Structure formats: C-alpha cells, structure tokens
Structure 1
C-alpha cells in the first residue's frame, strides 16, 4: 500500500510515476515496459498521493494508490500496474511530449504559410467578438473577461470529450491561446540569430519532403501550425526522435518559459503559431544517428492570404482582398534596428542578415508593388474630405483628424517613396496627412530605434518635401539631430522625445548665445537654467512685458563677476527662484531682488553655501523686503 508523505510542488520534478505498457501487464514471465505519465498527469498523481488521497483522477483513468493500479474510467476490468519512482536530484527527467511534434494533422508537422496570425487565432478573435483595439495587448480591460473564458474552457476541456480538430477548440481553448499569442505583458521579439532546437520522430516520407525543399530556388515557405515547444539547449532536443531541427531566428515572436517552468533546466522556448520557415540545409549525423535539418524562422505575410481577423472592423478601401501589411514590415525593420545599434558584433551581423531577408520578403510579397494602389486609396480619402478642414483650421482644431490617425502616415510615406509618381508628390504636400510624423516604435515598455536605411530615405527624399507641413514630431534621441537639421520646420509646435537624456538634449538646444532670445509680448515664463547668470541675461530688458518669472537653476557653477543690466523691473509682479547650491547670494541674488520693487509675490528656495553669517528674518527684511513695498506673499 502506498503511503503519503509531505512533498512540495518543487519536488514533483524529482518524482516520476510510470505505468506498465506491456501487452500482458500482469504477466510475470514477460519483460516489463514502463512508460512515464505526462508532466501534467505526473503532477496530478503526485499531488493526490502526497495529500493522502485514495485516488488520482485523470481524463480516461484513475490511479488506485491502495492497489497501485491504473483503472479505466469506462471499464473497471481494464487495469495496469503503476509505480512511483524517486529520481536522483541530478537525474533530470526530460519531457518527451513537450519536444516531439503533435500537430493537428499527424501526417504533416508543418503547414503552408499563412502570415503572422494563424487561422485558429483569427477565429478566436471573431468568436469573442473583439475589434482590433480590443486585443489584450492594447486594451487591458478585456483581459479579465478573456482569462475567465480561458479558465472555463480549460476546465471544460478536462471534463468532456471533443472532436480532435482545431475548430472545435475555439470556444474552450481559444481564449487561453489568444492570451498566449497576444500577451499583454510581453511583446518582445526574440534576438535575431538565436538558435532553437527541437526533436522529431518523422517517417521517411516526411524526411524526404524536407530534403526536397533544400535545392529549390526560391525556397518555399512553410509555417508551424501550433504553439511549438523548443529548447535553447541542443542536448535536451537530441534525446528525442530521429530528427533534430536546428532553427535560426531571423525575426520571430517566442516566449522564454525558463523562469516560469518547474523544468527550468530544459530551457524551453515556446514558438508562436504562424512563424514561417524555410529549409536551408539537411544532413545526416552518423555519430548522433539523426537527420539534422536547419531552418530559418521568420514572421512574414502572405500576399494571397484570404483570412480576415476582424469581422467587426471596417475593411480599408485599399484592401480589395488582403494586401501585404506594410506597417508590419516597417515594425520589423525598426525592431531589427535595435540590434543594429547594440554594439554587439554577433547581434549586428545577425540583424543585418535578418533585415536583408525581411526587405527581400517585403518586395517578394508585394509590399512595395502594392504601394501605388495604396496611395491611390489614400488620395481618394484626401479628395473625399470636404471643406470641414478649412473650418476646423480656422477654429484651431483637427476636423476629421480621427480618420487620419487610423493611417500610419510615416510608414505610408516611407513605402511610397520607392515609387516615382505624381500621386506621391500630391500626398507629400497634403497638410493634414503630413502634419504628424512618428519615428518611434513602442512595444510594451520598449522604444525601438529607427534603422539607418529608413532614416536615410526620410532625410534625403521625404522630409525636404514635407517639412513645411509638419507640426508634431515624435523622435528618439539617436535620430533627433539628423531629422531636426535636415530642414526648417516653421510650424513645428510639438516635439516628443523618447529615450530622453538631458545633457545630450541640452547640447542641441543651448548652443545659441544667451542674448539670442527676446520677446515683446511674453508675460509668463517658467524655465530651467544651468546658471544664475542665464537668469540675469533674461532680465536685461529683452522681456519687457514679463510679469511672472519662475526659475530653477540646476548648475553649481558661479561667476563672481558678471556684467548685466541693473535697471528696475517695473512689470515683474511674481518671482520664484529655486537654487540648490548657491555661493554668490550676497553678490548676485540680493542685487537682483532689489530690482523687483513692484513684486507682489516672492518665493525663494535657496541652499546657500560658504556663508558665515546666518540669513535670519532681520537680514531678509533689511536686505530685500524693505525694497518691495507692494509685496503680499513671501515664501522662503
């Protein structure tokens, strides 16, 4: 009789339950063939055993701990012996069911290319009645609903029998798969050049299919049809099957399960469905007695794809069927740009190769061929927008701006710049289309750099033609200088900087002499300065109507002597000065404040260094406040 003893969840990986798979399981004359339960079944059995249960309930069987047998739930006469084996801590169990393929069609471990999104995921989105903006990575409010449906579906799958085809799983397993595919908390692409491994047990006919692909030019594309477990550790995958897949990532979404798995030593990596691949090389390793099949993995789009993901979203007018996804190409290029700027020679080499493949794929799949038709649709929308823009412009609002925000105009301009036609020239001059340009790709909390090739084209071909329309630019620090210097932006009113660095940005915006800026109409100014001398320069008479001045001085550099205007400031009514380390209090601050005889409000936050005499209330009154007869509020 089996007895229970407390065992933590972490110890489950060191315990393995097995069942007798012999033709006659109770024969004492035959050799016994013990087979392991799956990792999930093993955990269920072990948990029931260690908590003192009499039985462990599985889908088709239950385990009777008293008699150490597995009994069919449909026929109690179908029984097989089971036993519990405790493994040494160094004797790690590798899960065969995780690293051998189990596709829906068992005679073919891969499918034809169908782009980023598998048909199963598309049908799940439709079944949940979601729009594009309601995917879990974009709208966190839908996550609880999807999680609840996912949990209910998993419970239902565990309690009922279903037809083993993927369409029957849309309602039950679909929500969980959608959360896994469109993870709202992890949107990172795997580093280009990463190598993944997976074992396979393939027939001679299937091996021949892979072999036939190698000499073809161009090589045909295929795609994985399901979430596929791989490993970053070749020695793990080598334990299974007669084939070892060696997969180099060009551009692909995966999930690293190492930190989440109880079997972290397996270094499991989950490959998303829809990841496409080509078969590059195939060879036979006599030492390993395995076929080695080398694949290149790349997310890509199929020009002939007929699936539509969002049944509730209007189809764009330029999309008579399903055109290539230009924005996905741009996004892929931007992600690879991060690796190009990493400084790691291996990462740079892998990213360059990946970018070449992605660009070639974009041309081959018709991204750029389709751009002319796309531009025609955009221009049709331009022509259809009525005189509301004139009215909106007069009222300083955006008119139909929501329509334009649906178009990724920077991506469109980049794509169309390959085409020498009059339509691009017209589009480039359209003020409403070119007033917002975004050069930043943000995925989750990451900001991706724009590749040099894309930046070059914008600076040489596009910005010189549209700069006079631009009102808002979103830039990262590395591209800022080139974009701002390539042209004048006379109507630029918003500048959004990502990966902000104060010292670097200051070098771009503070290289003019302090006497450059002036205004005859400015009444209020809030400003951060490096030195108090900059403040004195601003108050030399150039800001004649200034009534409120709020100054924060960050620097510690002081000049003991500085020539500046000492005239009174009759229009200044409110003044605030914050200075965390000032030495020239008596030489500069007191003379400055005595010029402000008409102040009604004064705020001073000062940390005075190297002063022997304490600044008390009497000194403040005699040195400063007595010169401000109209002062009403004072904070010191």
Structure 2
C-alpha cells in the first residue's frame, strides 16, 4: 500500500489509525497520481481526487513538504489549500503548452509558490518538432530560473533526449542564479554545457548533464577558469565523440575540488583504452 492509498483508506477511520496516518512517513511526500505497468502516468480517480482536495489535504497541509503531480489534476491540488511547508515539486507528463501556461502567462500558482519552491523536477513530454521544441524548452528553462528565485535543485529532464533538449544558440544569456546548487539537464551540444558553467550558477555543487552531441566547439566560450565549488559532475552522451582530449579533459581539469565523477561517453579515434589508470594519470592527479 502506497502512502496515498493509506491516507485515502484509513484517515478518520478511528483515533488510533488517524494518529498513525498523520505520521510524517505518510504525509511528508505525496505522489498524487497513478503509475501503470506500461510506464504511463494518469491522474487519480475522481473519487480519490475529491476526497484529497476537499478533506485530506486541508487536514495535513502543514506536514506536506513534497508533491508529485501530473497536469490534469495539478492545479486543483495546488489550489485545494495552502501548503506552508511545501518546498519540492515533481511535475510529470508536462507538455509545452502547459509549461507556457504556468511559467509565462499570469497564473496564481507561480505567484503562490515562486518564493517557496526550493526543489523542482519537470518531466517534459514530446509534442512538437525537435528544433522548435529545443527553442521553447530553452525559454522555459530560463523562465524557471527567473521565477523560482530560491531554487536550489532543478531537474529538467525529457521523455526523449532528441526532443527535449536545451540549447543557447539563439537565446539571451544573461540569466543566472546564485542559489542553484544542483542541476540535471539535457543539452544540445558541448557549447551549451560550457555556457551553464560560465559563472551564471556560481554556487553550483552538483551538475548532471546529458549531451546530445559532443563535437568541436564552434563558439568562443571560456573553458579554462576553475570551478572550485563543483563537487559532483556526471556527463552522459550516447553519440560517439572524437573530442575527448579537446573538450572533456580540459573541462574536468577546471573542477579542482571534484569529489564524484561519472563519465558515460563513447569515444572514437583514440588509440589507447581509457581505463582507471588513464583517468587517474590524466584527470584525477591534475585536480
């Protein structure tokens, strides 16, 4: 039985059960949606949604710290009561139209939570052409940074790397945050990765990036200044690259206080095998 089912079934049944279900283990983090075996996500049934919005959520509102939501019921749940302790949101199956509505249009939800949300995860769905979607995703990414001024954790991840990437080629690059500590994002190319590490997120501690294409940089971007605050770095790319020595190694040398490293890349046109010894000699020993 998941936490939501426990609350739905047992709250207000009797005093003893009521004490149990009000425990923080059942009320701190609520997943108010349904996961199916095929991977799809749907809203709760109307009956469950009614009971949560009208009865359960108002009673436990002070204990709720994180909510996992989907777009069909998201607004109703967030407006059902006030959430004074809420700091984390995970939004599943969010399409571009929904993002534009909540992050660009005048909306009571952003006004209510822009100072409150510290952790935000957004799972984007695919519904437009890749090139157009990249551009819109980038505007949404920037808008999120601008709206949620106290954001410390952002996970902006796609349902497919080929459709929901962030790219800075055609966007003003003057957005920044001095609060963001951890970032998970999918970008179009290595230049975009360098833009995110050019000082705009000066307090960034953990950076997990999925890069669609790692090729020789076409733009002049700083890849030499040290990144002393970065403690954890993970890079994933499923496309072969011959720019390991040219791009990846110099970037890693900037991370002088790195404690955790994850590299998941396909390297071609290199005569030696990159193993633990090579990483220690050419990267770890130079940090």
Higher relative contact order (CA 8 A, sep 6+): 2
Which protein is bigger by CA-based radius of gyration? Answer: 1
Structure 1 length as normaliser, TM-score?
A: 0.24
Structure 2 length as normaliser, TM-score?
A: 0.48
